[in-house]
């Protein structure tokens, strides 16, 4: 009996020693993992409180050519949660026997490359188009697109290009490759001074209910709801793309732009009245055209953001706020989602 009890006691003691040994190994492993996590968090903290914060709070590009890329990527990060990918595109574009853009169709003189879309080449009497395949019923949205104009002409060039939010897509016509008397919005980048006023190139917006026939001879003057003059030396034959931001909110339109080699936005106009129709199907698009004179007209990227979703994330109604107040609240909601403080991101 004693020998049996002694054997049991030794067995229990060995089991306890084994458990203690295993526990020691586990705790040692845990300590090693915690130490590694601590080192990683310190590195992340250094980046966050060092150069990371500087990048988020102010633009300090290493060279002027990188400035607009920093502006664009910063805004893209702010909005990412509310991006509508079915309307958006950016390079590189996939190759499926030829380069394509998902959810978009193109035609005429337009050609898709790996890194941009050339809507027209620098050749006379060409026109091209790029249209979203899916319709859009959003009435409160913000869009950003990058465009480039280049060519061999030195004193005269043209004709220009246009961005569209319209119910009448894919209809060829004489308004920079699209139909006249359209229904909806056109943001026109007119690079040829038809009226001889010396105010080109020019960015202008026209909201058309189908009754307005575009006045080519006067470059749409008197038909626009907002416009501004662009610098030819800053937006044509330069290294990089000019970025345009279009905001439609509560029946008001605002347009800003940033040249490829600049690190700040310039307001073209704001609070222009538009009349989008609820439950109507609109399409986004780009067109361009050349005449007796010509240019390359390129688009690199396009991104659309849902402002109504931003308002819901903030717990407010977009109709209760003007542009500035609503935008501030929406961007603060995005900041909180990304773990940022309200003062870490510039509101443009």
Q: What is the pLDDT along the chain (348 residues), one digit of tens a residue?
A: 433 333 333 333 443 333 434 344 334 444 444 444 444 444 444 443 333 333 332 333 334 344 445 544 545 555 567 899 999 999 999 999 999 999 999 999 999 999 999 999 999 999 999 999 999 999 999 999 999 999 988 777 778 999 999 999 999 999 999 999 999 999 999 998 777 777 779 999 999 999 999 998 898 989 999 999 999 889 899 999 999 999 999 999 999 999 987 778 899 999 999 998 888 999 999 999 998 989 999 999 999 999 888 777 766 665 554 445 555 555 455 445 444 444 443 333
Nearest to 210 by CA among 188, 185, 190, 189: 185
The pLDDT score that the predictor gives to residue 30 is: 43
The pLDDT score that the predictor gives to residue 313 is: 73
**Encoded tokens for 247:** 């905001």
The pLDDT score that the predictor gives to residue 272 is: 96
Nearest to 273 by CA among 299, 289, 254, 301: 254
Task: Report which DSSP code applies to 342.
Answer: G
**Encoded tokens for 90:** 């950016």
CA distance 54 to 62: 13
CA distance 229 to 314: 36
CA distance 346 to 348: 6
The pLDDT score that the predictor gives to residue 76 is: 52
CA distance 234 to 215: 27
The pLDDT score that the predictor gives to residue 270 is: 95
The pLDDT score that the predictor gives to residue 5 is: 36
Dihedral sign from CA coordinates of 78, 282, 105, 110: negative
Which residue is it, tokens 């060409």? 126
Say how many C-beta atoms besides its own lie within 10 A of residue 75's C-beta: 22
Residues 6+ apart with CB under 8 A from 99: 93, 112, 113, 114
The pLDDT score that the predictor gives to residue 65 is: 41
Instruction: Let me know: does 147 contact 161? Beta carbons within 8 Å.
Output: yes
The pLDDT score that the predictor gives to residue 149 is: 94
Residues 6+ apart with CB under 8 A from 325: none
Nearest to 242 by CA among 120, 112, 65, 99: 65
CA distance 156 to 161: 16
Q: Cis check for the bond before 251: say yes or no (omega within 30 of 0).
A: no
Beta bridge partners, 227, equal 204
Reduced to 3 states (helix: H, G, I; strand: E, B; else coil), residue 67 is helix
CA distance 296 to 122: 5
| Global model pTM greater than 0.75 | no
Instruction: Let me know: does 202 contact 230? Beta carbons within 8 Å.
Output: yes
Task: Report which DSSP code applies to 64.
Answer: G
């Amino acid at each position: 009996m004693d020998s049996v009890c002694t054997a049991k006691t030794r067995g229990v003691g060995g089991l306890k020693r084994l458990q203690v040994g295993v526990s020691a190994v586990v705790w040692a492993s845990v300590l090693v993992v915690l130490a590694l996590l601590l080192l990683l968090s310190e590195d992340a903290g250094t980046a966050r409180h060092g150069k990371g914060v500087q990048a988020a709070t102010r633009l300090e590009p290493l060279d002027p050519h990188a400035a607009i890329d920093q502006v664009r990527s910063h805004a893209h990060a702010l909005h990412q949660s509310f991006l509508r990918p079915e309307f958006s595109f950016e390079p590189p574009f996939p190759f499926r026997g030829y380069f394509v853009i998902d959810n978009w169709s193109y035609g005429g003189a337009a050609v898709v490359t790996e890194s941009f879309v050339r809507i027209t080449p620098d050749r006379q009497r060409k026109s091209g188009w790029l249209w979203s395949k899916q319709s859009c019923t959003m009435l409160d949205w913000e869009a950003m697109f990058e465009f480039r104009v280049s060519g061999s002409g030195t004193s005269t060039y043209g004709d220009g290009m246009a961005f569209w939010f319209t119910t009448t897509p894919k209809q060829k016509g004489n308004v920079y490759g699209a139909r006249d008397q359209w229904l909806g919005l056109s943001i026109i980048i007119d690079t040829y001074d038809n009226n001889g006023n010396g105010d080109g190139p020019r960015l202008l917006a026209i909201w058309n209910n189908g009754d307005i026939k575009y006045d080519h001879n006067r470059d749409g003057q008197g038909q626009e709801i907002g416009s501004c003059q662009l610098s030819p030396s800053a937006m044509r034959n330069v290294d990089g793309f000019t970025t345009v931001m279009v905001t439609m909110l509560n029946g008001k339109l605002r347009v800003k732009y940033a040249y490829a080699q600049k690190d700040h936005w310039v307001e073209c106009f704001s609070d222009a009245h538009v009349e989008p129709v609820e439950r109507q199907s609109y399409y986004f698009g780009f067109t361009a055209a050349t005449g007796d004179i010509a240019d390359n007209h390129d688009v690199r990227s396009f991104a659309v953001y849902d402002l109504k979703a931003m308002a819901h994330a903030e717990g407010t109604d977009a109709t209760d706020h003007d542009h500035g107040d609503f935008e501030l609240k929406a961007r603060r909601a995005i900041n909180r989602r990304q773990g940022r403080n309200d003062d870490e991101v510039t509101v443009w």
